[in-house]
A and B are shown apart, each in its own frame.
Chain A
């Protein structure tokens, strides 16, 4: 699967664009309706994280094939920014923790929605979130 789509994230309108592209890609990859919605919600949360904390960044989405899991098909979403970075990733992933009076459910919520979730962050260098969901 060669499908890949990249969305620049700078405003709340871009969050909607990323979500819609993700939805379209997930449908194309054969995800069912419920999973497509979960994927779109997860994209929304990581894209908003970029707007809120880094001002700008990008979301790259692609179809993937697992080398394990009997060659399962899936979707990979990478949300990347060169923002201030997250001081305490463990804390940021705690449900209900927010530095900006949000609900604090965005990142932990996105993790719950996806099958795999990885976050790498360096102070002053930015944050990269990589998440995957496999077709059932």
Chain B
């Protein structure tokens, strides 16, 4: 199940539509890495609202995506982690250290606005 990636100004929005297998996640990582270059995107939102579980592999891959995109010059924010999913992640000892998170799409856009504006002012 491929994840649609929408372009919204200088941002990309990856809107996960159904539960994902490990290989779907890896596909998403590769697609985002490429699209960020194609569209010269400054920020990426990954909407995980529909994910019923974020396990160790998903966490590792989301972290890898965020760090990889950072190296490509884009900020990443993960939005829509459900309360039960967040609880299970905490129980598993999983963290998204160094990765931006926000409640929903709206908050995610605000997060990226702040992040990318500050980066523009500071020149980094």
A interface with B by C-beta (< 8 Å): 11-13, 15-16, 19-20, 23, 33-34, 36-38, 40-41, 44-45, 48, 95, 102-103, 105-106, 108-109, 112-113
Contacts and interface: CB of A to CB of B under 8 A. Distances in A.
B17 to A, nearest CB: 14
Interface residues of B, number: 23
A110 B118 CA distance: 40
Interface string B40-83: 00000000000011111101100000000000000000000001
Interface of B: 19-23, 52-57, 59-60, 83-85, 87-89, 91-94
Q: Interface on chain B toward A: helix, strand, loop, or mixed SS?
A: helix
A123 to B, nearest CB: 25
A112 B56 contact: no
14 contacts: A13-B21, A34-B84, A34-B87, A37-B53, A40-B88, A44-B53, A45-B56, A48-B56, A102-B56, A103-B56, A103-B60, A106-B55, A106-B56, A108-B93
B52 A37 contact: yes
